[in-house]
Amino acid sequence: MEQRRIGNLEVSSLGLGCMGLSFGYGPATETTDAIALIRAAFERGVTFFDTAQLYGPFINEEVVGEALQPIRDKVVVATKFGFELPSPDGNQHLNSRPDYIRQSVEASLKRLRTDVIDLLYQHRVDPNVPIEDVAGTVKDLITEGKVKHFGLSEAGAKTIRRAHAVQPLTALQSEYSLFWRDPEKEIIPTLEELGIGFVPFSPLGKGFLTGKIDETTTFGKGDFRNVVPRFQAENIKANQGLVSALTKIAEAKGHTPAQIALAWLLAQRPWITPIPGTTKLHRLEENLGAARIALSDEDAAEITDALAHIDIIGDRYPAHLQSRVGR
């Protein structure tokens, strides 16, 4: 698979978001099956794997660590800190105090079965801890050889600049897709100016852009989409025009909607590396097929123009989670 540079880090043009194997979309995948999928991704050219302490919590890091241990020197592993875990009351509490970052990193290293974390993200900006203190702590961890690169997740442009001034950022991770293009307004120009890579999560709109979800779809117990406004039946129905238009374009080009959605992202900037996730081998292979699609600038512009007039209905997070993004 083609390699890309995000910041000063080289990764495969598509990574694997491992969250859904353990968290967010219902019961965790059996460990043996999850390990097999991660290794299948590597065998097909993926060298960039994304996890976090929160996913499980902890289970996902353990699975990723076990799966990648035999090939650790051939892959890039990203994980995240920033939540107090285990939670004292079952809710998600932010905690990016310097001492807690250090504690979190030591625990992640053990679960990931590694001596160094390739890319360490702050999972969400903690309003109670100055970002300069966070960046300074990660800078010290880099100096100590426990971390190689620093990243932020779902941070706003001002915070990105402040953090970057203390410890240069390698990547920002945030949601970005044909289903959520808000980063184009301020985030992408900021990253381009500063030379920071972009790692879009949910590049298939949490499954919506595959064309397999409609207003009759029901999500299982523990599936995060049950509380996401965009996935309420009336909003799914209202947003079907986007998928219909995408499907028409994909069929004309001989690809699936998911492949065109990923290829469009890859065509936006050479320093964008999406991390689609899946639990199924055939979906993994479908997604990775997008890396072989070379959309021209004209192709990408055609897709953008065809979908630009379609308004998306519904927020991407419930209110209590939406308040944590863009800080």
Beta-sheet strands, E only, within 123-196: 147-153, 171-175
Read off φ and ψ for residue 193, nearest 5 degrees. Answer: -60, -40
DSSP class per residue in 32-43: HHHHHHHHHHHH
Token pair listed for 86: 């285990």
Of residues 25, 55, 121, 176, which has the active-site annotation?
Answer: 55
Residue 106: CB partners within 8 Å, gap ≥ 6?
none
CA dist 30 and 322 (Å) reads 31
Computed from CA positions of residues 122, 126, 131, 134, in that sequence, does the dihedral angle turn out positive or negative? negative
The answer to whether residues 176 and 141 touch, using CB atoms and an 8 Å cutoff, is: no
The answer to whether residues 45 and 13 touch, using CB atoms and an 8 Å cutoff, is: no
SS3 218: coil
Burial pattern 119-147, b for ≥16 Cβ within 10 A else e, equals bbbbbbbbeebebeebbebbeebbeeebb
Token pair listed for 327: 């800080």
SS3 9: strand
Reply yes or no on whether 55 is catalytic. yes
Catalytic residues: 55
